[in-house]
Amino acid sequence: MTNVPGAPSSTSAATVLVARDLGVRRSDRWALRGLSFELRAGTVTAVIGPNGSGKSTLLHAIAGLLPLASGQLERRGLPGSGAEVAYVLQGAEVREHLPISVREVVTMGRYGRRGPFRPLRAEDHAVVDAALERLEVADLAGRQVRELSGGQRQRVLVAQGLAQDAPVLLLDEPVTGLDVVSQRIILEVIGQERDAGRLVVTTTHDLGDAAHADHVLLLAGRLVASGPPEDVLVSTHLAAAYGQRLIALGDNVLMLDDAPHHADEGEAVHPHPGHHH
């Protein structure tokens, strides 16, 4: 791990999330175990790791949607109003058939602040309008969400996250599989939120995206590494998390290797047809 235990933390003033020995169980199994890390305001933190490594589970735990089975998660210097953490689900998890408009989805982001039965004020509607504009979906405000393309729908979900106006913004695979325009718009907004002093935590399968983050958490059911991308995205840590499926191309560039893991045994098992000795 990059953080040396006992080393002084030079940036503790801006630390907003501190995990100590955090563990989460799902279906009677440990999904995450023994995680300790600190995340700072004004950063983008990318959570990476193979399928099932606990990325979404970590976001759920930070959002308070899953109980901790061990350890602590301290929210430092946050208002404590219950509106501290905005969570944008993976697009695929959102039900496609709900009859609900784009504006209604984004407006739902305000209910965390006002409560579902409190009337919204002019200022709430202004925040919703600004979020629609920033994700370039204002012209779609009256449309049904189920009529949108995947990229448009994801932008609407991120707009809902912005409308929550929380110091911590959690985004589960915000740009996975999207068209380039939607990716660019969302990545731009993520950078703006970071610059505005929020802690933005994203999950991604794209190591190139992770390389542009300020901080990377590499998971494999445990914390394999935590630190700046140049310290985390190195072959030793990546091999520890992803195993034999990764091959290194140069120092920090890595690629998923689709070849069989024991390619050298391939010839014996599958001799070339028509091969004569």
Ligand X SMILES: Nc1ncnc2c1ncn2[C@@H]1O[C@H](COP(=O)(O)OP(=O)(O)OP(=O)(O)O)[C@@H](O)[C@H]1O
Positions in 32-91 near ligand X (CB under 6 A): 49, 51-57
Q: Which is nearer to ligand X, 10 or 51 (CB)?
A: 51
Interface with ligand X, residue 184, by CB under 6 A? no
Q: Which of 27, 122, 271, 274 touches ligand X (CB under 6 A)? A: 27
Provide the minimum distance between the beta carbon of 69 and ligand X in the complex, in angstroms, as a whole number.
Answer: 12
Q: Which is nearer to ligand X, 93 or 147 (CB)?
A: 93
Q: Which is nearer to ligand X, 137 or 217 (CB)?
A: 217
Going by C-alpha positions, the residue among 14, 20, 59 that lies closest to residue 39 is 14
Q: Bridge partners of 225?
A: 218
- Residue 6 structure tokens: 């006992």
Binding residues for ligand X, rule CB under 6 A, total: 11
Scanning 26-34, 123-131, 237-245, 257-265 for contacts with ligand X by CB under 6 A, the matching segment is: 26-34
**Strands 199-203 vs 43-48: parallel, antiparallel or unpaired:** parallel
- Residue 88 structure tokens: 């944008």
Angle (deg, nearest 10), helices 102-114 and 122-134: 130
Angle at 49 between CA 45 and CA 50, to 5 degrees: 155
Neighbour-count burial of 30, counting CB atoms closer than 10 A to its CB (0-12 exposed, 13-18 middle, 19+ buried): middle
Q: Which is nearer to ligand X, 10 or 27 (CB)?
A: 27
Q: Which is nearer to ligand X, 49 or 151 (CB)?
A: 49
* List of residues contacting ligand X (CB under 6 A): 26-27, 31, 49, 51-57
